[in-house]
A = this chain, B = another copy of it.
């Protein structure tokens, strides 16, 4: 458990640093050389909105119409102070950003609000703006001309939290046409301050799998994405009792209630583990054509979801055979779950740990090597030139999914 607690602290630090950098650091423009003028509207814009735009240097240009404002800032990267134009609009350009997906807000005369030009996503504990920076490898999550699975919304009442909950379930192409086939299941969790919408909307997990399955690189599987923000304070480990964020986009606002006190990150998997084991897995195995045994059940998560995955799977290796931790800690060779290495190896078919290259990867790499030296095969993956952000997790999922259920 020492390892678990240490990892929890590590990812909390990473996470808080990441959220701060993305949403609320004070504006502190570097002096930038002129940008290359090949800006195009971001794909994350609301349709028809010309701004924000992104250029080939991965710089983002924002425009806000605010004729009577005194100051307008965009809180992304190191922050951008926009310049007032003669027509009442404000414009500013960022330094180059990492490839992928970044949350941001705008501040108009002290009011921090969403950018009305952006589509909205749930992250950093709120629905708000984000911008997509084109990536050199974006084809793996593109919507392409291949057979597509479905994303489904299931509503269920949890006896654990005494509240209605929602999960998204991906069913692979062909699920409807061949009703005799049964499928393995991956339980896939988001990070702190996110919800069950994250892996679809930000992560494109469905498209990544559609593309991999079409290419014969991943087995058709069911993926279950639920809300792991239970028994955790939305303000962080030490603050007031938790309320559970709702993710109501296409589903109704559920009657959600506070679900337990503000537990520390060390307990991050406790309440969600109860819901998963007692309620979600039985519901999914009852409702979908799953292969309902340990060899065909995986769990993975990003950041806090990785910690939940560690806590839940290592305690129940009778239920899970494939484990994925994306920027969410790693497993030390002295973990009690590995006390009998042969038993561990017989149960765990895949152990996958990943980070962005801009994260602190020392512990994870050392743990990977130590496990290998102890004869426990495991996979370490690093996403090039990305930090604690969705591009790291899209790539991690893309790698991990290819390892699943292959034996």
Binding site for B on A (CB under 8 A): 43-44, 46-48, 64-72, 88, 105-106, 108-116, 119-120, 125-128, 132, 141, 143, 145, 148, 150-157, 164, 168, 176-177, 179, 197, 200-201, 204, 206-207, 234, 243-246, 248-256, 287-288
Q: Determine the chain B residues whose CB is within 8 A of the CB of A157 once the complex forms.
A: 145
Q: Determine the chain B residues whose CB is within 8 A of the CB of A125 once the complex forms.
A: 48
On whether the beta carbons of A150 and B148 are closer than 8 Å, the reply is no
On whether the beta carbons of B287 and A64 are closer than 8 Å, the reply is no
Q: Determine the chain B residues whose CB is within 8 A of the CB of A44 once the complex forms.
A: 253
On whether the beta carbons of A249 and B70 are closer than 8 Å, the reply is no
Chain B nearest CB: distance from A256 CB in Å?
Answer: 7
The 6 closest A-B pairs by CB, nearest first: A66-B111, A67-B110, A249-B249, A68-B110, A68-B109, A200-B250
Chain B nearest CB: distance from A149 CB in Å?
Answer: 9
On whether the beta carbons of A69 and B110 are closer than 8 Å, the reply is yes
Residue contacts A-B, CB under 8 angstroms, 19 given: A43-B253, A48-B125, A66-B108, A66-B110, A67-B109, A68-B109, A69-B110, A70-B109, A108-B109, A113-B116, A114-B116, A116-B126, A119-B127, A120-B249, A143-B254, A151-B152, A151-B250, A179-B179, A200-B251
Report whether over half of chain A's contact residues are helix, strand or loop; otherwise say mixed.
Answer: loop
Q: Determine the chain B residues whose CB is within 8 A of the CB of A250 once the complex forms.
A: 151, 168, 197, 200-201, 249-250
Minimum CB distance partner of A250 in chain B: B200
Kindly state the separation between the CA atoms of A154 and B234 in the bound complex, as whole angstroms: 32
On whether the beta carbons of A152 and B155 are closer than 8 Å, the reply is no
Chain B nearest CB: distance from A199 CB in Å?
Answer: 9
Q: Determine the chain B residues whose CB is within 8 A of the CB of A141 once the complex forms.
A: 252
Kindly state the separation between the CA atoms of A317 and B206 in the bound complex, as whole angstroms: 38
Kindly state the separation between the CA atoms of A150 and B284 in the bound complex, as whole angstroms: 13
Minimum CB distance partner of A203 in chain B: B252
On whether the beta carbons of B176 and A287 are closer than 8 Å, the reply is yes
Which of B65, B114, B119 is within 8 Å of A253, CB to CB? B119
Kindly state the separation between the CA atoms of A88 and B107 in the bound complex, as whole angstroms: 14
Q: Determine the chain B residues whose CB is within 8 A of the CB of A65 once the complex forms.
A: 110-112
